[in-house]
Copies of this chain bind each other. A is one copy, B any other.
Amino acid sequence: MSSKRLLQAKIGSLTLRSPAIIASGVWPMEPERWPSGVVDNVGAICTKGLTLSPKEGNRGIRIWETNCGLLNSIGLQNPGLEAFLKNEFDQLKDCGCPIIFNLAFHREEELYHLLDILTSFGFTGTVEINVSCPNVSGGGMTWALNLASLEKVLKRARALWRGDMWVKLSPNVPKICDGAIVAESCGADAVVVANTWLGLAIDVKRKKPVFERIFAGLSGPAILPLSLRLVWEAASAVKIPVIGCGGVADAEGALAMLMAGASAFQVGTALFSDFEVVKKICDGIENYMAENQINDLEEIVGIAQKA
């Protein structure tokens, strides 16, 4: 069995070469900017959050460092799905791993429209429906907060979309299980648990909030223990794969995600600190599997829940 096989992760109809997925919004969409070799071990890459119309994103300060974390308020800056398909997707699509379309929307019709555009374009792969962006007014994570409207929009989206459908949930909800169960019942192929945590930073010199929109989303190693808890809860509540997201930065954190019940995991902020992080994580998981005589990644998934 080749070592490549060892790391394979299955999510819906996809078989990823590794469980390490690059999270939405952190990685350039121009492959020529990727340091060589860095995506060799990557299982899939999520696009930045794409919307129907182009968005300029938020003004003012957009990123702010916290202890072991990063607050961001990018605000979904993107050229719009159509321009992305026209100008950016072409160079991206042969990068060696699946590209996952992260779709963000304000009104529900926008999502249906986005799916139509993808269908017309001939894309039959995976979409990651982003109901969890904390950095825009209306839409964004408010979708994850209202279970009834979440159900409505996901049902309709499911009917429209033939490819795999992931739902990226918000951690800023009373119970992560509720959203996960709704997503499953609507036919989602996986839930991504989760997005950034709502936080605040104050610029004490200027005596005011750092960000124009006041709250921003916290990511990075600081939040790993919190994401792990959500993954554990979500994985106990649904049978579809859970994709862990939030704070993975080394093999130990990645293994913890898998053992808590995630079938794969995303890596975002950690790439800011180290381009080699995905390679190091994959090597670490492989070594762990070898040392523990584990031949299939699936054996690890959720193992801590069974203990």
Q: Is A103 an interface residue (CB 8 A)?
A: no
**Chain A 207-258 residues near chain B, CB threshold 8 A:** 207-209, 214-215, 218, 220-226, 228-229, 232, 247, 249, 252, 255-256
Q: Is A260 an interface residue (CB 8 A)?
A: yes
Bound together, the chains give a CA A260 to CA B215 distance in angstroms of: 12
**A256 B222 Cβ-Cβ under 8 A:** no
**Option from B199, B288, B303 in Cβ contact (under 8 Å) with A228:** B199
Listed stretches A7-15, A38-46, A65-73, A92-100; interface member = A65-73
Q: Is A307 an interface residue (CB 8 A)?
A: yes
**Option from B67, B214, B225, B307 in Cβ contact (under 8 Å) with A200:** B225
Q: Is A259 an interface residue (CB 8 A)?
A: yes
Q: Is A160 an interface residue (CB 8 A)?
A: no
Q: Which B residues lie within 8 Å of A204 (CB)?
A: 252, 255-256, 259, 288
The residue in A215, A220, A225 that gathers the most chain B C-beta atoms within 10 A of its C-beta is A225
Q: Is A174 an interface residue (CB 8 A)?
A: yes
Known contacts being A69-B68, A208-B307, is A225 close to B249, with CB within 8 Å? no
Q: Is A202 an interface residue (CB 8 A)?
A: yes
Q: Is A290 an interface residue (CB 8 A)?
A: no
Q: Is A197 an interface residue (CB 8 A)?
A: yes
**A67 B208 Cβ-Cβ under 8 A:** no
**Option from B173, B198, B223 in Cβ contact (under 8 Å) with A222:** B223
**Option from B197, B202, B304 in Cβ contact (under 8 Å) with A207:** B304
Additional A-B contacts beyond A199-B225, A199-B229 (14; CB < 8 A): A66-B221, A67-B68, A67-B222, A67-B249, A69-B222, A173-B174, A174-B174, A198-B229, A199-B226, A204-B252, A204-B255, A208-B304, A215-B232, A218-B226
Closest 10 CB pairs of A and B: A199-B225, A208-B307, A68-B68, A67-B221, A222-B222, A174-B174, A202-B256, A200-B229, A67-B68, A200-B228
